[in-house]
Structure 1
Amino acid sequence: MSRRYDSRTTTFSPEGRLYQVEYAMEAISHAGTVIGILAKDGVVLAAEKKVTSKLLEQDKSSEKIFQLSGNVLTGVAGLTADANSLVNYARNAAQNFLVSYDDEMPVEQLVQRVCDLKQGYTQFGGLRPFGVSFLYAGYDPHHRFQLYQSDPSGNYSGWKASCIGVNNGTATSLLKQEYKEDMNMQEALGMAARTLSKTMDTTSMESDKLEFAVLTLGSNEHVQPHILTPAEIDAVLAREKLSKSETDGAMRVDA
């Protein structure tokens, strides 16, 4: 039945479904996991990088976390080319706002701008939906720290903790169990690392397979977005006893 209605994004099935949008969301469910956690003093993003070859220059490829503006970071899951296009669009929108108003673009306004574009690609013939979902971590003085999730349909919503990508159901269940309203950044980083360890198809956690980013406030309410270096990621994994050396040691003890 679906084959009669899935050749156009503008054709609804008798059940009221748009199959092209559902196919885009299915593509995202096979992408690397991205987790966002809202803490009382910041926001954490953590992502699994799909390292396809040891010959790749890891510092220049497989990016999952991007800085959109001075107050917004985003993690992506899905088609990399689609993500790059939307990231560039969001950066241009944020910079135009900054030039016009001499202030950073409010987080939800930036999210809505990108989602308006994504929604447009679901209602015109000759187009296909963007096969990518985003987690946005941002801050503005009015609403403080915020975490948003958006999908290919153009829908977005605010979250305290969320996950997109492969095994997102497992990750969401773990986040529900462990999330606390008053957790700080260190606790949020640890929870993100533990959750990723349950969703990744590996027995050991290594910094070259992960990306972490934090959004915090510095002195004078100055927003500080920061993508963690491999050494900082290793420190997080060591603190949670998830690093490769820790897991190898545990396996030797069990043996």
Structure 2
Amino acid sequence: MSRGSSAGYDRHITIFSPEGRLYQVEYAFKAVKSVGITTVAVKGVDSVCGVTQKKVPDKLIDPKSVTNVFRVSDHHGCIFTGLATDARAQLQRTRSEAADFKFKFGYEIPVDQIAKRLADINQVYTQHAYMRPLGVSLIFIGMDDERGPQLYKCDPAGYYIGYRGCAAGAKEQEAINYLEKKLKEEEKKLSYEETVQLALATLQSVVAADLKPSDVEVAVVSKDNPRFRILTDEEVEQQLTAMTEKD
């Protein structure tokens, strides 16, 4: 067995390689990218927007039944990137945690708390040989009564953190590079319109093609309308047109 090879060290989730790597966790990250979908999320001064590609794998499938965006509670939502089957299991758990929190304490669970809870669960999946890490990356967006718009990302290894802008999926690094250039000014404050258009522009840049409303799903929450919602095709078209006119 060669020391630098993964052979033998990826048979069980609990075995470290000599380099200190857990190969099955890395395989889970590859599974997130394997579906070929990219997701981008941006936080503005009073809103958060998440944009993801919408790909219908078969002509016989009803496009309305294909989605990567789900409501968690009234003011929170989740955009998943990766294996849809794993995502559904995570989202069911997420909704259960959010409902339990509201039942116990009488108010919506903060976005950072739901991200932390899912990250704790994901991390446990990397500790036991009878489990496997879930091949899905979750981006949570929501409106906090005290801290305003919130954007958190949770990965298969159980790591979570808040972002001003983040990405997941096939073109993740390209999207991050684009966002870093656009968000490099710490004092830059994005309005609702600017937040949505930056998220769309980032995705359009990395896929290197003009977006159409049928190609994307756009989820937003804002201070003026804190309920989590998905923009209609007409609203997406308006934003894309405004982007074109601005350029």
Scaled by the length of structure 1, the TM-score of the pair is 0.88
Letter in 1 for 2:195: A
Which residues in structure 2 correspond to 1:77-92 (within 5 Å)?
Answer: 77-92=81-96
Distance in 1 of aligned mates of 2:212 and 2:61? 16
The match for 1:162 is 166
Letter in 2 for 1:212: V
The match for 1:10 is 14
The match for 1:45 is 50
Cα deviation code 1:193-216 (max 9, x no counterpart): 111112226x33211110001111
The match for 2:210 is 204
Alignment pair present for 1:194 and 2:201: yes
Distance in 1 of aligned mates of 2:112 and 2:177? 26
175, 191, 194: which one aligns with 1:184 = 191
The match for 1:251 is none
140, 143, 146: which one aligns with 1:139 = 143
Q: CA deviation at 1:241?
A: 2.4
The match for 1:224 is 227
Alignment pair present for 1:23 and 2:27: yes
% identical equivalent positions: 32
Residues 73, 138 of structure 1: 8 Å contact kept: yes
SS of aligned partner of 2:217 = strand
SS of aligned partner of 1:54 = coil
Residues 214, 227 of structure 1: 8 Å contact kept: yes
Distance in 2 of aligned mates of 1:127 and 1:33? 27
Alignment pair present for 1:34 and 2:49: no
Contiguous gaps of at least 5 residues in structure 1: 243-255
Q: CA deviation at 1:53?
A: 2.2
Cα deviation code 1:29-70 (max 9, x no counterpart): 233111110000110100011221232211111x11111112
Distance in 1 of aligned mates of 2:34 and 2:176? 16
Letter in 2 for 1:10: T
The match for 2:244 is 241
Q: CA deviation at 1:225?
A: 1.4
Cα deviation code 1:1-40 (max 9, x no counterpart): 2121101111111111110000110121233111110000
**RMSD in angstroms over aligned alpha carbons?**
1.5
Q: CA deviation at 1:145?
A: 1.4
Alignment pair present for 1:121 and 2:128: no
Q: CA deviation at 1:143?
A: 2.4
Residues 78, 132 of structure 1: 8 Å contact kept: yes
User: How many pairs are equivalent?
Assistant: 237
Alignment pair present for 1:57 and 2:47: no
Residues 12, 18 of structure 1: 8 Å contact kept: yes
SS of aligned partner of 1:84 = helix
The match for 2:99 is 95
Residues 74, 228 of structure 2: 8 Å contact kept: yes
The match for 2:155 is 151
Distance in 1 of aligned mates of 2:116 and 2:201? 31
Letter in 2 for 1:78: G
Distance in 1 of aligned mates of 2:237 and 2:64? 16
Distance in 2 of aligned mates of 1:182 and 1:146? 14
SS of aligned partner of 2:40 = strand
Letter in 1 for 2:175: A
Distance in 1 of aligned mates of 2:23 and 2:215? 33
SS of aligned partner of 1:174 = helix
Residues 51, 209 of structure 1: 8 Å contact kept: no
Letter in 1 for 2:197: G
Residues 48, 200 of structure 1: 8 Å contact kept: no
Distance in 2 of aligned mates of 1:213 and 1:172? 19
Residues 46, 148 of structure 2: 8 Å contact kept: no
